[in-house]
Chain A
Amino acid sequence: MSRRSITALGPPSAGARALKGLVLTLCCAAVVVPFVGIVATSLSPRAEVTRAGGFVLVPKQISFAAYEAILSGGVVTRATLVSLFVTAAGTLLSLVATTLLAYGLSRPGSFAHRPLLMTVLFAVLFGPGLIPSYLVVKSLGLLDTYWALLLPPMINAFNVIIMRSFFLELPPEVIESARIDGAGDLAVLTRIVLPLSKAALAVIGLFYAVGYWNAFFSALLYLNDSGMWPLQLVLRTYVVNQTQLGVDQLGGGAGLPPQEAVQMAILVLSIVPVLLVYPFVQRHFSKGVLIGAVKG
């Protein structure tokens, strides 16, 4: 926008612009450089890793051995599949329940509108504690099942509020004319509201998907069986806690790539899905979806 610099005063001085450029470059480098290093290390053969002392920024040779090792059917492969399943199933559940709830709250003055809305609003402000949540999951018999990862975070009350304020801002004339043509509440939802809300669905869907994909602690708390672990927990064990990954944990038998490369390959694997979805959703971020929530 930069509207201020153009309108009121002339262009900023050269010194100010240089300083701005420098600060911005440093901020962006702080994000980009680690990514480059992680990908580079994951692609490095042993000689490169040893030469760099562990973390490679610019590899001279490239090897995909680390990726072959983790993707050929060991612990990491299984955990990746678990994470993909939990993310897909969870996002679907969450998006359906959130959309329905937001739609149910989208007509002020409808039956029980106020108490239902209050139920959601209070949930935004006051989250449940760790211990009581654990006890509820336990007494429902959900421990050691994937339901424990899917059901408790199914409704994020804040996402409901965002979605609802998006619905409230849809043009009323369109809905009105559908009603005159005889559409009921259900038809209005499926034929008018949903097609007009693709941006909101995409962004809220991304929020949920990222939440399920990134969840680490709920799995630690609710799943005792390490065979059920999602990728984030594997990442914690073998990368953050530096537990050695042996031939037993990796699939296939083709020699062991350097530990550092394997660790960084797991890290890359955990970041890639986020990177893949991000560009498609990013353009919707500032398009009123979130801003609507702040206004209302």
Chain B
Amino acid sequence: MTVPTQTPVGRTSPPPHGSPAPPPAASRRPPWWRRLAADRVLVLAALPGVAALLLFHYLPWLGNVIAFKDYQPYLGILDSPWVGLANFAVIVDGDPQFLNALANTLLITALQVLIVFPAPIALALLLDSLISERLKRLAQSILYLPHFLSWVIVVAIFQQMFGNAGLLNSALRAQGLATIDVISNPELFKLLVTSQVLWKDAGWATILFLAALARIDLELYEAAAVDGAGRWRQLWHVTLPGLRGLIVLLLILRLGDTLSVGFEQIILQEPAVGRQASEVLDTYVFNHAVLAADWGQGAAVGLVKGVLGVLLVLGANKLAHRFGERGIYQR
């Protein structure tokens, strides 16, 4: 299907985007109340959703002021005393628990970028190369499914597979072999978490790569074959360049999430392996602010995390532009 990306649903076509000389139209633009009256249905339609975003997405950013306060729930946000940058001391002075959470976060992110990120690309190439359309669809239906299960369900499933009474250890016991502790073993925790993400989302993530593969021009493959390129050279010189834009885009988004790894997933499994092995920045914030009632400190760490996340996305995007990719936004 060939579709123009910017076709308005409305009656008047907008001034062509990016064309150099629209000013004459601007001087003839009707006053704002006329335009508001003309577009009132659209504006009214947008209002409830925008209000929800302002209330639950933007207003919370203001709540971050408690990072600079000694927040006491009974005093409220406004009346709690200011403490300057005292709450940031854990970060600056390198509180061991904070450093531990930071190290765990970075380690898990590294594992996930190394193992989870390439998996759907390989899987998409495999699915794309299937000749039987029915087989491909069946495989997709099966592989997409885990994405729609909650973390509670995924963690429960992994317990049933690898727990002490699970499938693996029952089989080992039946063979008279020693059992392996996978679920409550702090040393294996980061690999366990990574394999859970792999199981849950690798299949679903292929959907974007499959779409990108379908858009690669067939003639490129034919031309490569005429030039004597075999399967692997076609993969290297045609397929991978065709996926490059998407890979860069997804890497940027992943990089923006460097500091947040699976909050629900990890908080669920914290009791099994303890904080030393499992605590990441997000669970640190929760454990300190909500459970230990150290609100200001939790908010300070959360704020620094949020700001770093924004900087990471912008930085990665800049880097992508430098390499001539589109990134997440143009210009």
Q: A9-B231, A55-B167 are in contact. Are A274 and B309 (CB under 8 A)?
A: no
4 closest residue pairs by CB, A with B? A104-B46, A101-B49, A54-B165, A132-B63
Q: Is the CB of B9 within 8 A of A131?
A: no
Q: How far is the CA of A7 from the CA of B224 in the complex (A)?
A: 11
Q: Is the CB of B268 within 8 A of A240?
A: yes
Q: Is the CB of A286 within 8 A of B10?
A: no
Q: For A168, list chain B residues within 8 Å (CB).
A: 5-9
**Nearest neighbor of A20 in chain B, beta-carbon distance:** B126
Output the least CB separation between A19 and chain B (Å).
Answer: 10
Q: For B210, list chain A residues within 8 Å (CB).
A: 286
Output the least CB separation between B42 and chain A (Å).
Answer: 5
Whether, in the assembled complex, A5 has its beta carbon less than 8 Å from a beta carbon of chain B, the answer is: yes
Output the least CB separation between B122 and chain A (Å).
Answer: 9
Q: Is the CB of B39 within 8 A of A107?
A: yes
Output the least CB separation between B83 and chain A (Å).
Answer: 16
Whether, in the assembled complex, A23 has its beta carbon less than 8 Å from a beta carbon of chain B, the answer is: yes
Q: How far is the CA of A32 from the CA of B53 in the complex (A)?
A: 39
Supply 21 A–B pairs (Cβ within 8 Å), ascending by A: A27-B123, A55-B165, A100-B45, A100-B46, A100-B49, A104-B42, A107-B10, A128-B56, A128-B58, A130-B302, A131-B289, A132-B66, A157-B57, A160-B49, A168-B5, A168-B6, A172-B8, A189-B41, A214-B149, A240-B156, A270-B152
Interface of B is mostly: helix
The answer, among B7, B57, B305, for a CB contact under 8 Å with A128, is B57
Q: Is the CB of B45 within 8 A of A126?
A: no
The answer, among A8, A151, A188, A236, for a CB contact under 8 Å with B52, is A151
Q: For B331, list chain A residues within 8 Å (CB).
A: none
Output the least CB separation between A261 and chain B (Å).
Answer: 12
Q: For B39, list chain A residues within 8 Å (CB).
A: 107, 110-111, 185
Q: For A57, list chain B residues within 8 Å (CB).
A: 167
Q: Number of contacting residues on A, CB 8 A?
A: 115
Q: How far is the CA of A141 from the CA of B136 in the complex (A)?
A: 50
The answer, among B11, B167, B203, for a CB contact under 8 Å with A179, is B11
Whether, in the assembled complex, B43 has its beta carbon less than 8 Å from a beta carbon of chain A, the answer is: yes
Q: Is the CB of A136 within 8 A of B289?
A: no
Q: Is the CB of A55 within 8 A of B60?
A: no
Q: For B234, list chain A residues within 8 Å (CB).
A: 4, 8-9
Q: How far is the CA of A222 from the CA of B173 in the complex (A)?
A: 43
Q: A4-B234, A274-B148 are in contact. Are A217 and B263 (CB under 8 A)?
A: yes
Output the least CB separation between A15 and chain B (Å).
Answer: 13
Q: For B268, list chain A residues within 8 Å (CB).
A: 216, 236, 240
Whether, in the assembled complex, A175 has its beta carbon less than 8 Å from a beta carbon of chain B, the answer is: yes
Whether, in the assembled complex, B19 has its beta carbon less than 8 Å from a beta carbon of chain A, the answer is: no
Most chain B CB within 10 A, of A186, A240, A282, is at: A240
Interface of A is mostly: helix
Q: For A165, list chain B residues within 8 Å (CB).
A: 5
Q: For A135, list chain B residues within 8 Å (CB).
A: 60, 63, 66, 77
- Residues of chain A from 108 to 156 with CB closer than 8 A to chain B in the complex: 108-112, 116, 119-120, 123, 125-137, 139-140, 151-152, 154-155
Q: Write out, one digit per residue, whether chain B residues 2-23 have a CB within 8 A of any chain A CB (1) or not (0).
A: 0111111111101101000000
Q: How far is the CA of A246 from the CA of B56 in the complex (A)?
A: 39
Q: For B54, list chain A residues within 8 Å (CB).
A: 119
Output the least CB separation between B57 and chain A (Å).
Answer: 5
The answer, among B129, B199, B211, B290, for a CB contact under 8 Å with A2, is B129
Q: How far is the CA of A267 from the CA of B149 in the complex (A)?
A: 11
Q: Is the CB of B7 within 8 A of A103?
A: no
Q: A109-B15, A136-B63 are in contact. Are A97 and B49 (CB under 8 A)?
A: yes
Whether, in the assembled complex, B61 has its beta carbon less than 8 Å from a beta carbon of chain A, the answer is: yes
Assuming A28-B143, A55-B160, A108-B6, what are 18 further A-B pairs, CB within 8 angstroms? A4-B239, A7-B218, A34-B160, A55-B166, A109-B12, A110-B39, A119-B54, A125-B256, A128-B60, A129-B60, A129-B302, A157-B57, A172-B8, A236-B268, A263-B156, A274-B149, A290-B211, A295-B5
Q: How far is the CA of A83 from the CA of B222 in the complex (A)?
A: 53
